[in-house]
Amino acid sequence: MVEFQLKERGIIDKRVLDAFRKVPRHLFVPENMQASAYDDFAMPIGSGQTISQPYMVAIMTEKLALKGEEKVLEVGTGSGYQAAILCELAGSVISIERIKTLSDQAEKLLKDMDYKNIKFVVGDGTEGHKPEAPYDGIIVTAACPTPPPPLIDQLAEGGRLVLPVGDRYLQNLTIIRKIRGKIEAETSIGCMFVPLIGRCG
């Protein structure tokens, strides 16, 4: 997975590649699909949701440009795989999911894996999570028509917000930076995520 799907497609951040080598992806997919856990596609995880394709998790993570001390907010816990990768790369992680069963499963799994720098929240992540704001990095793993304003508000100075922006079936990975209070946006590759469902989704 790391050699052929990530390095060959241009993922170069050594810390990101190491995190992918370390986190056992097969633990995050349904038992009957574990044999394909490291293949090049997204997979169903129940409740109509998916674990993203490894390359998509990698490029989004790389775009956050984490050095190790950051506080990161993830919207869309899903299986918890992206959350575990973030735990390897950031100081602390808050992960919000709207479906409680998914959040509970992910929380149990990450606890068993001994990750201590993460907090799970059940709720509407389009509102962000004010009590712990601002965040050095925010990653949204569901598709939205426009970046939710509360997430831009909760971004720290110098912080990065990475999210898929577009319509129901096709989006562009978008990177928003807050530099001296101003917002700069950059568009990256096309992608296809499940919808972000909420007040600003």
Q: Which of 142, 155, 165, 176 binds ligand SAH (CB under 6 A)?
A: 142
How far apart CA 175 and CA 90 sit, in angstroms, is 18
Query: Coil, strand, or helix at residue 21?
Result: helix
Please report whether residue 1 would count as binding ligand SAH according to CB under 6 A: no
Interface characters, 26-45, with ligand SAH (x: CB under 6 A): --------------------
Closest to 162 measured CA to CA, from 79, 15, 6, 52? 52
- Return the number of the residue (17 or 43) whose C-beta is nearest ligand SAH: 43
Closest to 63 measured CA to CA, from 82, 40, 44? 82
How far apart CA 180 and CA 175 sit, in angstroms, is 16
95 is catalytic: no
Q: How far is the CB of 136 from ligand SAH (least distance, A)?
A: 18
Interacting positions 78-137 with ligand SAH (CB under 6 A) = 78-79, 81-82, 96-99, 102, 124-126
Residue positions annotated with a catalytic role: 52
